[in-house]
Structure 1
């Protein structure tokens, strides 16, 4: 939740979720069209938070492990990026934010992968 009002005096509340693109529950849809898992996640989050009061602006932030972002995540990112550029006057501030988010997803993917390896494998020495 934002600490300061986001829009028309209302605070921003968001729920970020990273869906596994290759999970069996998503694979049928994601193999046909990129981004379907994060779109479904965003829709589920909207249903979950529908009882939130009118004093809040709720935005689901859905991304997938292989890169796609949901429509709400893209819109929120663009708005935050615009505000960052306006405040910092640095034209690449929004781009840096996007890179950091994508890097966090990649780090999560790496952690998930290395978590499946048996203890004592040579890869454990990397981290």
Structure 2
């Protein structure tokens, strides 16, 4: 890890990091919250105490680090109220110093659901237990760390030290296996919700013999069955890079639009839901709605 990667890793999971917080980042918010939460007790013990004299130097130091105004009085006893502005400033500093590709990565990994895998219990029977190498690669991609030595891929393109080429390479074995893995996860989730469904049904919506990824066997809404088609797109692929750097979930939203255009039902027999995910975590709007 270089300094930039190490600084990102110390941010909370909600900001696209590991949540391994640094003591020097937490000390000031913890101290300010502690003093304010104990102020009533301090007044009982020593009525002449002036809390402003105690915390004014610390608040001034906090304002320099966070570049914001102190929280309202009712929130000053909460550590989160003091911590989040510092975290946001730290995150913004990383964004401002990033290239377009790194900015797209940072925006994507800070999405609400992107860090959910870090909070999942590592239970092997549920498929939640990553082996050591998979975990190392996942963390490296999350933080933008160096993963391997540069080399030339079978497709004749250069694989840099960040190792992201495999996320979109046409010859990548992992790229093909992640699609049925996503299908299976959604299939099992629907089954657990008492919604029987089948994978890859024939003769649905398409005239070119291509099959969608799923079909519910009972009506989903408006008396119609739900047809699903899942896709996973690379956040930092050149096609989406510029949009991903400025808009959260840009690649997934575009993929869903493309899927909806392909699967048009002239008879209105089915409800169609494109389910798009990005390699760095964000869900498409319709994927998020379906999962919720």
TM-score range, shorter chain: 0.5 to 0.7
Residues 1:16 and 2:230 are matched in the alignment: yes
In structure 2, stretches of 5+ residues that fail to align are 1-214
| Counterpart-to-counterpart distance in 2, 1:9 and 1:68 | 30
1:53 CA displacement: 3.0
Shift of 1:55: 1.5
- Once residues 257 and 268 of structure 2 are traced to their aligned partners in structure 1, the CA distance between those partners, rounded to angstroms, is 19
Shift of 1:25: 0.9
In structure 2, what is the Cα distance between the partners aligned to 1:51 and 1:7? 16
Q: C-alpha separation between the residues in 2 aligned to 1:52 and 1:76?
A: 23
- C-alpha deviation, 1:52, in angstroms: 5.0
TM superposition outliers: structure 1 runs of 4+ over 6 Å: none
- Tell me the SS of whatever aligns to 2:235: coil
2:276 is matched with which residue: 42, 51, 62?
Answer: 62
Partner of 1:48: 262
When normalised by structure 1's length, the TM-score is 0.58
Give 1:9 deviation, angstroms.
2.2
Verify: 1:7 aligned to 2:221, yes or no.
yes
The match for 2:291 is 77
State the SS of the aligned residue for 1:42.
helix
What TM-score comes out, normalization by structure 2 length?
Answer: 0.26
Per-residue deviation, 1:5: 1.6
Please give the residue correspondences for 1:103-114 in structure 2 after superposition, counting only pairs within 5 Å: none
| Displacement of 1:51 | 3.1
What is the root-mean-square deviation in Å for CA atoms of aligned residues?
A: 1.2
Task: Return the alpha-carbon distance in structure 2 between the equivalents of residues 53 and 61 of structure 1.
Answer: 22
Tell me the alpha carbon deviations over residues 15-62 of structure 1, each in whole angstroms, 9 at most, x when there is no partner. 111110011111111111220000000111111112353120101111
1:33 alignment counterpart: 247
Max Rg structure: 2
The alignment partner of 2:253 has SS state of helix
**CA separation in 1, counterparts of 2:273 and 2:259?**
9
